[in-house]
Amino acid sequence: MKRLRRIWVLTVKEILQLLRDRTLLIATVYLFTIDIFLAASGVKLTLHHAAYMVFDQDRTQASRELRGRFRSPYFDLKGLILRPEQAFGALDKGKVLAFLDIPDGFEQDLKTKRQARVQLLVDTSNAMMGYLVAGYASQIVAEFSQEQMLTQLGLTEEMLDRFPLIKLKQRVFFNPNQEETWFTALSELLTVITMLTMLLPAAALVREKERGTIEQLMVSPVSTMEVFLAKILAMTVVILVGTLISVGIVIEGAFHVPIRGSMAVFMLVTTFYVFTSCGYGLLIGTIARNLAQVGLLTIIAIAPIVFLSGTWTPPEAMPIWLRSLMAFSPLYYFIQSSYGIFLKGVGFDFLFPKVGAMFILGFLVLGLTGFFFRKRFIG
């Protein structure tokens, strides 16, 4: 009972300390709301209004027909040009991403049944987008080409079924309309949680060291683990409230991300994650001597945790040595679980191994922290 009371008192102290730093409080609220909104609303990684220019030397019905296929929402015509130099200038300045060159005699080639060629120059200074532009352009031209084939054979479009060809039927699961905000908003929320749960406990611990209040804690009857537990509990309260606000206002309110699983389960998983992630934060706080060190150490720790989580880069695209490090990123398990709960509606058999691994990781880290802490302060 006494133990619980001690933890309770310490927890209240931590929360009060946090609430009284107004700048910090505002930054926290900002992170949970506006930051997530900004990150998810403005940026689209899928092909979306790629600006391009056309140099149509043919100027016939066929060439007009072809270039008309490059349209919204994937492409955005930025101008028909008269000299190719104009396009190169615009490509250099990054005003357009692609340049379609239709040579003279395009229609003539089609009529005389010679292969007509068109060229697309793609700006790949951003390789990911360049790839998508090239992919979509190829599809558009391939479709056009197929129709031309039918015309040349004097057939209509419905007669394509008469050819012994494979007809592709693609279905996208979990996010059928490929709403990018679903992905980005969730991943940003999880990153924000990671950042706060590592930075704040580390900072709180180092602040006690810098001010010497840690000595007071050491001579008081509280144990090391109670000090840690109080900091973790305080963090859990802050994060859970922040997460609820964020899910309510931004993720549900603004972006309508579906919750196919149970929200209560998500909150429970989040609690476990906060425990693990705080462990990392406290480890940093124990090692660092001042806040400047905390800052640098935290970003050193956060960057790999985020990038080894499989959010942006899937494991199969990573080199083996990086892939094996993924097991130590608690965010990897959290992200899998969260996307599972929100988008896939998974059950306990899916979540149990992941949350379990996360929890074990948390215990290991906390044990390590306790070891370092005792070594440093108790001797």
Partner 1 sequence: MRLRRVWALVEKETREIKRDPFFLLMAFLVPSLFMVLFGYGLSLDVKNLPFWVLDYDQSKTSRDLVYHFVTSRYFELKGSLLDEKKALAALTQGDIRLILVVPEGLEKTLVAQRSAPLQVIIDGTFPYRAQVVKNYVTAIIGLFNKKRLQEFFRRKGFTEQQLETMAEPVRLDVRYLYNEEAKSVWSIASALIGMILLMVPPMLTSVSICKEKETGSIYNIYASTITRGEFLLGKLVPYFLISALNALILFAWAIWVFKTPFRGSFFFFILSALVYALCSLGIGLWISSFARTQIAALMISLVVAMVPSFLYSGMLVPVSCLDQTGQIEAHLFPAMYFVNILHGLFLKGLAWTTLWPEFMALVVYTLVVYFLAYISFHKRVKR
Residues within window 268-327 making contact with partner 1, judged by CB under 8 A: 289-300, 303-304, 307-308, 310-314, 316-319, 322
Instruction: Indicate the residue among 6 and 265 with the shorter CB distance to partner 1.
Output: 265
Which stretch, 5-13, 158-166, 253-261, 268-276, contacts partner 1 (CB under 8 A)?
158-166
Assess contact for 113 and 107: CB atoms under 8 A: no
* Of the residues 12, 71, 104, 131, which one makes contact with partner 1 according to CB under 8 A: 131
Question: Could you tell me the sign of the dihedral formed by the alpha carbons of 313, 315, 320, 324, in that order?
Answer: positive
* Of the residues 4, 5, 164, 348, which one makes contact with partner 1 according to CB under 8 A: 164
Residues 7-26 that bind partner 1 (CB under 8 A): 21, 23-24
User: Binding of partner 1 at residue 378 (CB under 8 A)?
Assistant: no
Distance CA 197, CA 238 (A): 9
User: Binding of partner 1 at residue 31 (CB under 8 A)?
Assistant: yes
For the bound state, the minimum distance from the C-beta of residue 232 to partner 1, rounded and expressed in Å, comes to 17
Report the half-sphere exposure of 289 (CA within 13 A, side-chain side).
Answer: 0
Distance CA 256, CA 258 (A): 6
Distance CA 286, CA 298 (A): 12
Distance CA 377, CA 67 (A): 72
For residue 35, what is the DSSP state?
Answer: I
Residues 6 or more apart whose Cβ sits within 8 Å of residue 360 = none
Which stretch, 182-190, 245-253, 277-285, 369-377, contacts partner 1 (CB under 8 A)?
182-190
Beta bridge partners of 252: none
Residues 107-126 that bind partner 1 (CB under 8 A): 110, 113-126
For the bound state, the minimum distance from the C-beta of residue 1 to partner 1, rounded and expressed in Å, comes to 34
The contact mask relative to partner 1 for 65-94 (x = CB under 8 A, - = no) is: -x------------------------xxxx
- Diameter of the chain measured on Cα atoms: 95
For the bound state, the minimum distance from the C-beta of residue 53 to partner 1, rounded and expressed in Å, comes to 12
Number of other CB atoms surrounding residue 107 within 10 Å: 19
The contact mask relative to partner 1 for 234-253 (x = CB under 8 A, - = no) is: --------------------
Instruction: Indicate the residue among 178 and 213 with the shorter CB distance to partner 1.
Output: 178
For the bound state, the minimum distance from the C-beta of residue 76 to partner 1, rounded and expressed in Å, comes to 9
Beta bridge partners of 51: 76
Instruction: Indicate the residue among 160 and 237 with the shorter CB distance to partner 1.
Output: 160
Which stretch, 44-52, 229-237, 247-255, 368-376, contacts partner 1 (CB under 8 A)?
44-52
User: Binding of partner 1 at residue 198 (CB under 8 A)?
Assistant: no
Instruction: Indicate the residue among 83 and 93 with the shorter CB distance to partner 1.
Output: 93
Instruction: Indicate the residue among 116 and 283 with the shorter CB distance to partner 1.
Output: 116
Distance CA 246, CA 238 (A): 12
Pick the closest to residue 96 from 71, 132, 65, 121 (CA basis): 121
For the bound state, the minimum distance from the C-beta of residue 69 to partner 1, rounded and expressed in Å, comes to 11
* Of the residues 235, 282, 343, 351, which one makes contact with partner 1 according to CB under 8 A: 343
Residues contacting partner 1: total by CB under 8 A: 125
User: Binding of partner 1 at residue 183 (CB under 8 A)?
Assistant: yes
The SS3 assignment for 78 reads strand
User: Binding of partner 1 at residue 205 (CB under 8 A)?
Assistant: no
Structure tokens at 65: 């027909």
Assess contact for 20 and 236: CB atoms under 8 A: no
* Of the residues 95, 244, 328, 372, which one makes contact with partner 1 according to CB under 8 A: 95
Question: Could you tell me the sign of the dihedral formed by the alpha carbons of 30, 31, 35, 36, in that order?
Answer: negative
Pick the closest to residue 86 from 71, 101, 72, 106 (CA basis): 101
